[in-house]
Structure 1
Amino acid sequence: MKKKIFNFILLCYLGFYGLAYAEPESLRGTDMSEQLESIGDPFLQAEHLFHAGDFLEAKPYYHEYLSQNPSGKRSHQAFYRLGSVDQANKSYSTAIRFYQILLQNYPRSIWANSARFNMAVCYYELEDYDNAESMFKMVLRSTTDNKRKWNILIHLARIDVGRMSFEKAFIKLRKVYTQNENEDIRNNVEAIAKDLISDKLGEDKVSNLIQKLGTGFPVDLLLLRKVSIARAAGDISNYVATLKNFIELFPGHPLRGEMETRINNVEADAGTKIKIGVVLPLTGKLALTGQRVLQGIQLAVNQLPFQAREKLALEVRDSGSQVSISKIISEVSDIPSVVGIIGPLLSDEVKVAGEMARKKQIPVFSPTASTNGLVDENPFLFRNALTRRIQAKFLAQYSVNTLHLKRFAVLHPYEPFGLELKETFINEVESLGGEIVAIAGYDRSQNDFKKQILELGGVEDDDLDKIAREMVLEDRIMPDFSDSSTLSRPLIDMGHWSGDDVEKLKVSLELSYDAIFIPGVYDKVGLIIPQLAFYNINKAVLLGAKGWNSPELVRMGGKYLKTVYFVDGYYPDSHQIEVRKFVENFITNFGEEPTNLSAQAFDAANIVIKNILAGADNRIKFLESLRNVKSFPGVTGKTTLLPSGDSEKNIFALTVKRKKIVQQN
């Protein structure tokens, strides 16, 4: 697999640098099949492998050729090939040595100029800018290939960036951009300029470069960056002034219409100090879900004191229409008074929204999206969702630290949610010093779980009685739980025996573990629990996740729900005052009970509002404030936002008592 990845990287490298690895013109058009007649020749074998894309396999044959023919007629090409392979493998110092040997021993080689260019690239990658610059300029003086000349100028601009000489870099990039008709090269230059402006330049440097460079490329990109900075800082006057400056300097620019629209939006938006964007599906198949989430957000705003409420407004957009989520996020982001966005709902939408959020530098806070790793790589994405990681981690901590359980079995569904819950639970239990002694999995289509239960040490009544009688009559030693393969053993509670006669034998099943974690949904869990009892697993504590939280589980499990604990992020019958107040106010305002998602949205909105009222009145401050949310007391548990943008919650532990789900913690 690693070999295939490396080969792919080298192919990409060859394509990216173009002439850096191109065959010299004198070799182009040569039919390789004519060169490969002597397959026993190590050089020809190496070339065959190299051109087939098997670069690492080619290396030892090049070395073999050089050891046999130190001054052979193909030695210069072998050194060049070895350098190119190591360069693509990021072994830049080694690659340089091969190129140096080639240039020292074969200065007139047809590969010499390409080797110098590649050496310059290697020096650049090693941040040896002096040697890189010297070598690039040497090639620039000797090459007649215009495309390579432009490529060298781009590299020289990158060297200027490395030296923090941004003005020099932009002058070189401008030369390539304005004097070149090759669209690929122009697009490459524009992408480099955009990345440089976005990653390296602050407000003062941007303004300084605009003044020095005057007009033309890349001043348009610098002005767009200045617009973005002003918008993020909530500096409306500077925002509008920069938009007008853009139109004045670039009257024929393709973005002129968009700039004029932004100015008109600011004028129409005058009077509202701070806005919160809300992007939810209010039409289409998810309209009901979107409406319930919106109600949670609206309730958070409605409960504010009048003066605070007057400072805020919601900018609500429907994501259930045919308009792309990217366009909706872009439009909301272009309103400078919007400091952040609550939504979208679905993980796929949040991922798309995140890319636009990064571009527009606006925080996006989803109250619902729960896919693993969704927010990890984007500093502008946050969420208040009850993720599987939160559920499994909290349950493991509660089981070990509060219930004092130490040894666990796991019975999980072969579905993504079940596998993720299983893995997180196992990792957390083991980190807390607990032990996982058995794991079994089942398919969603199953209704009979005998095989899995037997794997966890379950035993049928007749078999249990038979094993116990044999142990008594044959005076066998009780199986030892120190043997990891022993998950259960008969426990004789009562009986009389004499010789070969055993009477009134009463046997139960003793387990080597304390609890079973079943990360399934109530419909299957409700079938599993009675079957566990049928196979005499009736003394273990049963543990579950959010999927258990349904009255149907109580109905299906019935008398077999003896000692069970499961978790959820929201429990409407909680004894906590803030939860009871939320439920009452929601019913009063909307005439129905809130859902889990309504509660998560209520908390997300309150986190946003609290930070804005505390002074986070622009995007820069708001982004920083979200990164510092600690133990926020919400109706879905105390919430901390992690540096990754994910949430960490102290959620609800639930159990079943007297045929009713109740809060345990």
Structure 2
Amino acid sequence: MLRRAIFSLVVLVVLAALQGGLCRAVSASSALQQALELYRSGSAELAMPPLKAAVAEQPQHPDAWQAHMALARIYYRQGQLADMLAHLGAIPEGRRTPESRLLEGLGLIGTGRISAGVELLRPLEEAALNGSQRHQRLAALADASLKSGQHAEALFYIQRRLRLDIDPAVASQLLQQAHGILESRLSDSELSEAAFLFQGSPLGHDVLLQQAVRHHQAGRHGQALSLLDGILKSPVAFPFRDDAEMLYQQLSQKASPLAIGVVLPLSGRFAGFGKQLLRGMELALQEHALQRTATFLVRDSAADPAVAEQCIAELAASRQVIAIIGPLTGNAASKAARRAELEAVPLVSFSQHAGLTETGPWIFRNSLTADLQARTLADYAIKQKNMSSFGVLAPETRLGKELAKSFIAAIRDLGGEIVATVFYPSRTTDFRQQIRSLRSTRTKGPDALFIPDTADRLALIAPQLPFYGLSDTALLGSASWDTPDLLVRAGSSLENGVFVSGFFRHSPDSLVREFVDRYMQRYAKEPSLFEAQGYDAADMLLDLLQQNPLADRESLRDALVQVRDYPGVTGKTRFEPTGEARKNLYLLQVKNASLIQLN
């Protein structure tokens, strides 16, 4: 009897325990289902806590994979890819769906594991995905291809997306993306393959346009015209049809080629300088002849402001003219700049006239401004030579005053001291009074003396300086020193003197040596600063047109603003947003009756 009682008691205890466990299991299962129902009702954010609690409490529950999947979707929408991947990894292999593999592939690519993500996404069959998921897969594969440098493959996936049911705005964005790839990322052979693969589609027509552009850049205008003719006759619409039409008109016999206007003083007292500039420009044009980028339309301003303004108006009236180079002299440049700004045509001037580029956003200057020269000299004297006191002896000319003003400002900006500033009439031949004025308030001369004048005046000034106690004062000069007769006229008196220039024909720089050789081969004489400036201005514009044959005036202006470190023979050049050129000028020193380059 006792044994039966004990057995009955044990049975009752076990049954009670089983009943309690069953209740708890039923309760946990109910919580999981309630969380899933809450998620399915559209309350994803509210469902997150109970879903996470349910999978934590019953990770082995048969429906736990659904909770992991729901959490993965939520984390994907929130951009938390690492958390999404963690939940996807908790789904048993037998429960994995095309959607879960899609999300895992997207997450892997998004977290930088591109190869693993691509391996998951490529085998996925599109039939197993809905429309939105197909776009997600192809977009991720295109992105992965771009990140891996496989640009042609990226185009393949973009084209696949374009063939799906797609919103027109999204299609436009995809074609813009493809256009950027086609412009610079594909080789000629890859372009040919793309033309075959995408023929008859909007993307295929853009491929043909890019092939036409490359034929044009290489001088194969007949092949370019043939491709463009086919594009324009096709009924297929694509976003860059206007570009194709513009290039076709440019290349066809009915339209004139692009032209760069040139306005220089080719007669009158500045004719010599104008002709030197033009010779440099013609050398640049000769070197671009095979590309047939553009031609020059040359006008003589005779250094007359009214004539210069008229030349600008006439050139700007021609749609053929895409930019204008010149003028050279101050007043003519000022008038020309105002007219060019009114006509909205890019103007690249050589004038040093103060405030020229302030005329407006269409005006650029590629010249040795007083400010550029002064700051180069100040940097050298103070930062490299540790000089601290300076004198200025300058002519009472517009340029002399401007250079003196800029030099004084540059020295003071760097903490230097200007101890004396003396001006003299431009025709002065006896400088004793002015030199004595430099010493009137000091027992010791300044560390350096800035003389922004030409060789003929330097020949009169420099020999007198030691007599008045300035033998230990270093001499600094502007680009006005850079004349062929400098060493003949004043060489011995200028020993160790330093000046700036925009060009040095004896520079060891290979770019300069090659330019000098080509110039001498054509003209049988050495080039000067003027030829070099003309060459750089023309070469820069021709390069920009060669890079973008579809350029108009506005896009060319924008391209000029973006110029950075253009490798010119007058130094590396960039344009400020104001249109002012910034250059690395040459620092030249008189040494043993010759010139040496310091920088």
Structure 1 length-normalised TM:
0.50
| 1:401 partnered with 2:334 | no
Tell me what 2:458 maps to.
Answer: 525
Q: Which of 365, 368, 372 is matched with 2:348 structurally?
A: 365
Q: Which of 560, 567, 574 is matched with 1:640 structurally?
A: 574
| Contact 1:236–1:336 under 8 Å retained in 2 | no
Q: Which of 578, 588, 591 is matched with 1:654 structurally?
A: 588
Percent of aligned pairs sharing the same letter? 34
Structure 1, residues 35-88: CA drift from partner, whole Å, max 9, x if none? xxxxxxxxxxxxxxxxxxxxxxxxxxxxxxxxxxxxxxxxxxxxxxxxxxxxxx
| Contact 1:274–1:339 under 8 Å retained in 2 | yes
| Contact 2:259–2:295 under 8 Å retained in 1 | yes
List alignment gaps of at least 5 residues for structure 2: 1-241
Q: Which of 308, 330, 334 is matched with 1:351 structurally?
A: 334
| 1:339 partnered with 2:322 | yes
Cα distance 1:315–1:406, how it changes in 2: closer, same or farther (>3 A)?
A: same
In the TM superposition, residue 413 of structure 1 has moved relative to its aligned partner by 2.0
Any idea what SS the aligned residue of 1:365 has? strand
In the TM superposition, residue 595 of structure 1 has moved relative to its aligned partner by 2.7
Tell me what 2:473 maps to.
Answer: 540
- In structure 1, what is the Cα distance between the partners aligned to 2:499 and 2:573? 19
In the TM superposition, residue 267 of structure 1 has moved relative to its aligned partner by 12
Any idea what SS the aligned residue of 2:328 has? coil
Tell me what 2:254 maps to.
Answer: 270
Letter in 2 for 1:310: R
Q: Which of 303, 306, 309 is matched with 2:287 structurally?
A: 303
Any idea what SS the aligned residue of 1:437 has? strand
Tell me what 1:290 maps to.
Answer: 274
Structure 1, residues 290-324: CA drift from partner, whole Å, max 9, x if none? 33222211211222372xx2232223334449993
Structure 1, residues 578-630: CA drift from partner, whole Å, max 9, x if none? 11111111111222222321110101011111222222711111011111222
| Contact 1:297–1:605 under 8 Å retained in 2 | yes
In the TM superposition, residue 643 of structure 1 has moved relative to its aligned partner by 2.0
- In structure 2, what is the Cα distance between the partners aligned to 1:583 and 1:596? 11
- In structure 1, what is the Cα distance between the partners aligned to 2:381 and 2:394? 17
- In structure 1, what is the Cα distance between the partners aligned to 2:508 and 2:284? 21
| 1:444 partnered with 2:426 | yes
Tell me what 1:105 maps to.
Answer: none
Cα distance 1:269–1:282, how it changes in 2: closer, same or farther (>3 A)?
A: farther
In the TM superposition, residue 541 of structure 1 has moved relative to its aligned partner by 0.9
Higher helix share: 2
- In structure 1, what is the Cα distance between the partners aligned to 2:283 and 2:589? 29
- In structure 1, what is the Cα distance between the partners aligned to 2:421 and 2:300? 45
Cα distance 1:270–1:283, how it changes in 2: closer, same or farther (>3 A)?
A: farther
- In structure 2, what is the Cα distance between the partners aligned to 1:283 and 1:618? 31
| Contact 1:440–1:455 under 8 Å retained in 2 | yes
In the TM superposition, residue 329 of structure 1 has moved relative to its aligned partner by 2.1
| Contact 1:388–1:421 under 8 Å retained in 2 | yes
In the TM superposition, residue 285 of structure 1 has moved relative to its aligned partner by 5.2
Any idea what SS the aligned residue of 1:386 has? coil
Any idea what SS the aligned residue of 2:359 has? coil
| 1:589 partnered with 2:499 | no
| Contact 2:445–2:470 under 8 Å retained in 1 | no
| Contact 1:278–1:342 under 8 Å retained in 2 | yes
- In structure 1, what is the Cα distance between the partners aligned to 2:313 and 2:409? 40
- In structure 2, what is the Cα distance between the partners aligned to 1:267 and 1:554? 52
Letter in 2 for 1:452: Q
Structure 1, residues 209-230: CA drift from partner, whole Å, max 9, x if none? xxxxxxxxxxxxxxxxxxxxxx
Tell me what 1:377 maps to.
Answer: 359
Tell me what 1:571 maps to.
Answer: 504
Superposed, 1:141-180 pairs within 5 Å as none
**Alignment RMSD (CA, Å):** 3.1
| Contact 1:272–1:311 under 8 Å retained in 2 | no
- In structure 1, what is the Cα distance between the partners aligned to 2:312 and 2:491? 48
Structure 1, residues 467-496: CA drift from partner, whole Å, max 9, x if none? xxxxxxxxxxxxxxxxxx4x22xxxxxxxx
Letter in 2 for 1:645: G
Tell me what 1:424 maps to.
Answer: 406
Number of residue equivalences: 357
Any idea what SS the aligned residue of 1:408 has? strand
Cα distance 1:452–1:283, how it changes in 2: closer, same or farther (>3 A)?
A: closer
List alignment gaps of at least 5 residues for structure 1: 1-233, 239-264, 459-484, 489-510
- In structure 1, what is the Cα distance between the partners aligned to 2:498 and 2:458? 13
- In structure 1, what is the Cα distance between the partners aligned to 2:258 and 2:250? 13
Superposed, 1:8-27 pairs within 5 Å as none
Q: Which of 365, 389, 399 is matched with 2:371 structurally?
A: 389
- In structure 2, what is the Cα distance between the partners aligned to 1:315 and 1:269? 19
- In structure 1, what is the Cα distance between the partners aligned to 2:315 and 2:359? 22
Structure 1, residues 413-458: CA drift from partner, whole Å, max 9, x if none? 2222221111111111111121212222222233332222222227
Tell me what 1:466 maps to.
Answer: none
| 1:663 partnered with 2:597 | yes
Cα distance 1:601–1:379, how it changes in 2: closer, same or farther (>3 A)?
A: same
Any idea what SS the aligned residue of 1:324 has? helix
- In structure 2, what is the Cα distance between the partners aligned to 1:284 and 1:607? 28
| Contact 1:394–1:651 under 8 Å retained in 2 | yes
Cα distance 1:554–1:609, how it changes in 2: closer, same or farther (>3 A)?
A: same
Q: Which moved more, 1:567-576 or 1:310-319?
A: 310-319
- In structure 2, what is the Cα distance between the partners aligned to 1:446 and 1:286? 23
Letter in 2 for 1:607: M
